[in-house]
Amino acid sequence: MVVKIIETIGSSPDGWEAALKNAVDEASELPIFKSKGKVKNINVKSFDVEVEDNQVSRFLTRIEILLE
């Protein structure tokens, strides 16, 4: 079995779940995703935040999407 891996970072001011959804939505627009678009697994690599004026301003989720 050949598996393709897409690594991407999603961001959102609304939380990590929204950041994850944004990462998957952006990756799904890539040509490789459209030709090998059966998602086998999504690995969450990290959760991070951006801070402005000592307040969380944006949530970041780094993921790997494995395609069959």
pLDDT tens, 41-62?
999 999 999 999 999 999 999 9
Alpha carbon distance 5, 48 (integer Å):
21
Task: For the chain, give every domain's residue range.
Answer: 4-67
User: Given this model, what pLDDT does residue 37 score?
Assistant: 67
- CA dihedral sign of residues 49, 32, 67, 3: negative
Tell me the whole-structure pTM to 2 decimals: 0.84
Domain 4-67 in CATH 3.30.1660.10? The answer is yes
The residue written with tokens 């799904």 in the block is: 28
Please calculate the CA angle 55-8-30 and round it to the nearest 5 degrees: 130
